[in-house]
């Protein structure tokens, strides 16, 4: 039986003043299954093309913090799955931002996360 799920794309925004971004991850939330998971894939060379001075260590730490919030570890450990997703999906003006939330139906939220990473995050280059 399909379940309603929500997702946001995680965007690296090296210079928020310029508004340029690159998708570096996705977060999938399925309330009926208490599922909340984050997947990331960072193309460092493409990000450096947007901003050669980008602090990749800071980006990595911010991504780690987002993934920990999904897992229920770190400062968000006491929050419910829904609270954590709403906090992660909230608008912000930092090096990491999220897209608006989207919804769908799925029987397998983990497969949806894999699909989103494959279609929205990984770069497909023609050989």
Sign of CA dihedral 2, 23, 10, 58: positive
Mean pLDDT for the stretch of residues 93-119: 95
- The most confident of 30-39, 56-65, 84-93, by mean pLDDT: 30-39
In a domain, 126, yes or no: no
- Which residues constitute the domain of residue 54? 3-121
In a domain, 87, yes or no: yes
Does residue 63 register a pLDDT over 80?
A: yes
At 11-26, the pLDDT tens digits run 999 988 888 899 999 9
In a domain, 110, yes or no: yes
Number of domains in the chain: 1
- Cα–Cα distance measured from residue 106 to residue 58, given in angstroms and rounded to the nearest whole number: 34
In a domain, 113, yes or no: yes
What percent of the chain has pLDDT above 70? Answer: 96
pTM of the model: 0.92
In a domain, 36, yes or no: yes
CA-nearest of 4, 38, 24 to 123 is 24
In a domain, 127, yes or no: no
In a domain, 48, yes or no: yes
The per-residue pLDDT for 126 is 46
CB neighbours of 88 closer than 8 A, spacing ≥ 6? 8, 27, 38, 66, 69, 70, 98
């Amino acid at each position: 039986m399909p379940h309603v799920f929500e997702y946001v794309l995680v965007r690296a925004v090296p210079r928020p003043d310029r508004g340029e971004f690159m998708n570096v991850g996705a977060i999938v939330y399925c309330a009926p299954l208490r599922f909340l998971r984050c997947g990331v894939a960072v193309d460092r060379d493409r990000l450096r093309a947007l901003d050669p001075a980008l602090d990749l260590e800071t980006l990595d730490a911010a991504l780690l913090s987002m993934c920990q919030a999904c897992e229920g570890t770190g400062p968000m450990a006491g929050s419910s799955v829904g609270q954590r997703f709403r906090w992660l999906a909230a608008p912000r003006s930092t090096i990491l931002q999220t897209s608006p939330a989207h919804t769908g139906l799925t029987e397998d939220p983990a497969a949806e996360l894999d699909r989103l990473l494959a279609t929205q995050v990984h770069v497909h280059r023609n050989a």
